[in-house]
Structure 1
Amino acid sequence: ILTFARIGFPSVIAGVLATASFPVVSLMLASSMNDSGVLSVLSVDSSQFVQNFLNVSGLLFSILVGQTYYFMYQQQEAVYYSLFNEVTEAKSLLEQVALVCQGRTMYKNVLRSMSQYVQSDLKRLKDDPAVLLSSRPMDDPLESIMYMTSVGVPSSVYETVKSLRQARAGRLGALQRKLPVVHFVLLWILAVIEISSFPLLGAGTQIIGGYNILTVEGVLFGVMTFGIVLTLRVVGELWRPTGGAYNVDGVLGVMVKGLEEELNARMAGGQAYAANRKSPSLPATETEPSFSKQTSDDLPILNQGADFGHLLRLLRRAFQWTRTQIRG
């Protein structure tokens, strides 16, 4: 909804203002020229100067906007891939830390460092990636985890932390803004240059159809302005790091939800998830086996000695077989 408001409302307002102001601006330009020869040339564009001007500006605008959109879309795709890779590595590190450090005094500190990494690094999409990467090693929670688990000889956690750092570097590199603000300012200037040629043509056509033709052209001019502003706003949304439908913060919140729940549960001293029936451990709701009371009807009957009923059945079958053979 917020993205729709940031894109739709400015586009609609720009289209309405362009429709309403087009006849007024065209008449003002016509009155400022006050030359029938100039207006007649503009009305038919016999020199094709305005048409060539419009073609060149439109071509430049379409090329730059198209390339910008493609570049920003590729950057968003790289961010998604890097985040999925990093969250997967973070879950692997948590599982490995739980196996290696559980029961030791440093277990709580390692989990606290993992939680600090998730909150102060992984979820901080608004901060400058270069600033996050330039932090001191002593302030890096991953460095703390590696120090606590790999004093002396590096343990198996070292390789997982190394892979997580590589995934983190990929995420920070993908999040780094490659296009400066001045690039989008130039796009808006180019859009204004393209739009400005239409009132000039309207100043010439008003000598043919009067104010009515300016009204029709104003509607078309408003629709075109709406489309140009809409396109630039979409590109601007792709440039934003967070807070929109085109951004990754919503997907990241879903990805790290399970990781945060398990971290909080382990730090609280409980289990993250209840084991299912296929697990060798008991479910979280069962701490010890439960034995239901059995009645005497449920207990098997134990017979002492030989089973005479079974012997009688065998004799009956033997007698029936003998009689069948005699008759045959």
Structure 2
Amino acid sequence: MANPTLTGGVRRTLARLSLLAVLAGSALSATAGAAVLGRDDRNNADAFLPTQNRMFGGLGRIECLGAGSGGISFNATGWVIGSADTVITAAHSFFPRDRRGRSAAVRDPAHCIFVLYNEDQSVREIANIRYAVSPWADQTKRGDGSFDFAVVKLAHRVRVSSIPAVSTAGGRDRPAAQLLAFQTGVTQDQRARITRGRTAAFPFAAGVEPTNGVRITDGSRLFSSSTNSSPGSSGGLYFDNVTGKAFGLHIGTLCDTSAGGVSYDPYRCFNYGLRFDRTMLASVDAVVRDAPSDDQLIPPDTRYPTAAAMLVALAEGQARS
């Protein structure tokens, strides 16, 4: 009996299915993870986001107190969207997992603040968080990278002169995309960075289940990226200079590290983001109108009122100064 001949399309499909198995079983970082995928450009002079660039004056950090930590124990990037008291970030900012990928206690948004920094790394403004919404409030969607976003309502409007426009055409290839985010492992880490690279369609439809418990059920909502990132970049803004619009939210990394070093490969090692669509924009609009859907509210945690009180006092004191 003759051996069947595989077409190029079938070969590519089988190769991708094989890679899914490799990714699922390998040492993989995703969502909370991030990676420098080539030459590290994060400390270059042109990587620093100048504060005089008013379009991105609302790019800041979500900073959270851990229970019993006595100080900030987590931070992610967030940015003003829709109105001056509304911020978008990654959902996993509020839904941590342990090292085995198991769900930990939900991080109460009330234990977090939104901070804007000056170019000299001093604090420009602090806002307390009233509430946050996310599809991950639904247990069936929690941990799904296809819905890894959260929209935050601040206790007051922050002072910004411009808010980025948003495009829903995030799935197409962009040879010159920018990621605007805060980075760690760099000099002057309280200054936002611009890293540059390309974005492309996400290479898998579904089924990626990294070792930290994050899964992907709908790859069409995502895109891959070669821009460099690091822990703290989650929630960063993907921007297209050609259209002058934001087109996505930085989520994390998928990378097969079994072969050794980390370098960009569009199928085996890439950062990835969540593109804007009607679902995301509907959540943003609801928070802008201060009319959040009850089933998307991230539940508050009242076990640690002292931590929340500390943050409220910090934010209110800064607002008066």
Q: What is the TM-score of this pair, normalised by structure 1?
A: 0.19
> Which has the higher Rg, Structure 1 or Structure 2?
1
Q: What is the TM-score of this pair, normalised by structure 2?
A: 0.19
In proportion to residue count, which structure has more helix? 1
